[in-house]
Amino acid sequence: MRPSLGEEMAEKAYISLSVGHIQLPIRNPLDLIMAVLKAAEKLLTTRVEKPIAVYAYNQDPENVVAGLVFKFLLRSPLVIVYHHVSDSTFSSFGEGILGRRRKGYGLLASAWRSAVPALNRISAKVADVHLALSYTTKVEVEQLLNVKDCVVVGNGIDTTKFKPLEIEKKYDAAFLGRIVHQKGIETLLRAWAIVCRQKPDSKLILMGGVEKPELVYFSKLARELGVLGSVEFKGFLNDEEVVKSLCASRLFVFPSRKEGFAQAVSQAMACGLCCVISDIPPLRETYGDVAIFVPPDDPGQLAACISKMLDDPEKYRELGIRSRQFVQKFNWGGVVEKELEAMHRRTGLQKGSDFY
C-alpha cells in the first residue's frame, strides 16, 4: 500500500517494502517475529539510503514493530498513522493476561496471546510522530498510549479515479471493506433478510478481502437467512472493478462497529452514491453533513433505512450528488502538507528537503 506521501510524490521518493504473504491478523509472537524478519531481510537486500523517516501506514503490529526495528537500523524517526485503535491492539502485557484469564484462558495461553499487543504498545510509544485520521482516533491514541501531540491529518480520495459512471444498476446496495465481524457483516446480512422479505428481487454486493473461515461463516449465515441467492461475495477487486461495481449500485451500506476514517465511504461518495453508515463518532465526525446514520448492530433499523431509501430514488440520487460534492475536499495534497508539517515540528525535518 502506498503511503499518503506517495500519493503526491514520484515513486523514487520513497521505498515500500513488500514481504509477500503474511497471515493476518497476527496473534502470536512467532508470526510477528517471522514478519519482522522477512521485512528486515527485504530491507538488507534492498539498497536503501538513509531515509528521512520510517513510515508505518497503520497501527497493526506487523507495521509498527517492524517500523521500530527499522528506526534503529536506519537511525531515522518512526512515523505511525493510526486509522483506529482499541485496547486489544495496544493492551499492556499484564492487562492482556488479566483480561484473557477472566475469559477462561489458561495462564500460558493468556501470556502467549498477550505478547503481540504488548510489543505493539511498546513500539508505538517509542515512535517520533503520531498521526490520526480523525479527531476521535487522536483522542483515543493520546489516552491509550499516553502520548502527546497526535496530529489529525485526515485522508484523501482520488476523485478522478473514483467517479460516477453511466452504467446499468445491477445492485440495490453495495458494501466495500474487509469481510470480517468488525465491519458489521452479520448485521448487514440480517438486515438484508428483512429487506428481501419486502423486496424479494433485491441484490447486495459485498466487495473486499475475505479469509476462508469468514467466507464459510457468512455464506452459511446468508443461507440460513434465505438470502444467499440475493448476496454476491465478490472478494478483493482492483480499483477499476470497485468503481464499476459501486456505480452499478443504488446505495452504499457500511454498518461497521469500529473505524477511523473509513475510506470506503469516501470512495462510494466520490462515485455518487448515497451512503447509509453506522452512527459511530469517527464517521459522524467525518461524514456528518451528507451520510444517513443508523445505530450499529441494529439490523431492524438498518433494514428500515435501506428500504425507505430504495423507495425514494429521487432522494438517494440527490444525496449521491451532494456526497460527490462533499468529498472533493478530501484531497491528498492537504493530507501530505499536514503530515510533513507534523514531521517538521517533531523531528526537525527541513522544508528544503526533497519532500518539499
Surface-to-core class of residue 222, CB atoms within 10 Å of its CB (0-12 exposed, 13-18 middle, 19+ buried): buried
For residues 97 and 187, state if they share a domain.
Answer: no
User: Could you read off the pLDDT of 254-295 as tens digits, one per residue?
Assistant: 999 999 899 999 999 999 999 999 999 999 999 998 999 999
In angstroms, the CA 351 to CA 344 distance is: 7
Whole-number percent of the chain with pLDDT over 70: 91
Q: What is the CATH number of the domain that holds 39?
A: 3.40.50.2000
For residues 143 and 200, state if they share a domain.
Answer: no
**Contact predicate 175/208, CB 8 Å:** yes
Q: What cell does 172 get?
A: 440495490
Residue 190: its H or E element: helix 185-198
Q: How many domains would you assign to the chain?
A: 2
What average pLDDT does range 61-83 have in this prediction? Answer: 93
| Dihedrals phi, psi of 15, to nearest 5 degrees | -125, 130
For residues 51 and 112, state if they share a domain.
Answer: yes
For residues 87 and 122, state if they share a domain.
Answer: yes
Residue 352 resides in a domain: no
- Strand residues in the chain grouped as ranges (E): 54-56, 78-82, 129-132, 151-152, 171-176, 204-207, 231-235, 249-254, 274-278, 292-294
Residue 226: its H or E element: none
- What is the pLDDT at residue 354? 43
Cell 517509542 belongs to 126
For residues 322 and 335, state if they share a domain.
Answer: no
What domain range includes position 335? 4-156+331-347
For residues 294 and 176, state if they share a domain.
Answer: yes
**Contact predicate 207/175, CB 8 Å:** yes
What average pLDDT does range 111-123 have in this prediction? Answer: 94
**Contact predicate 318/327, CB 8 Å:** no
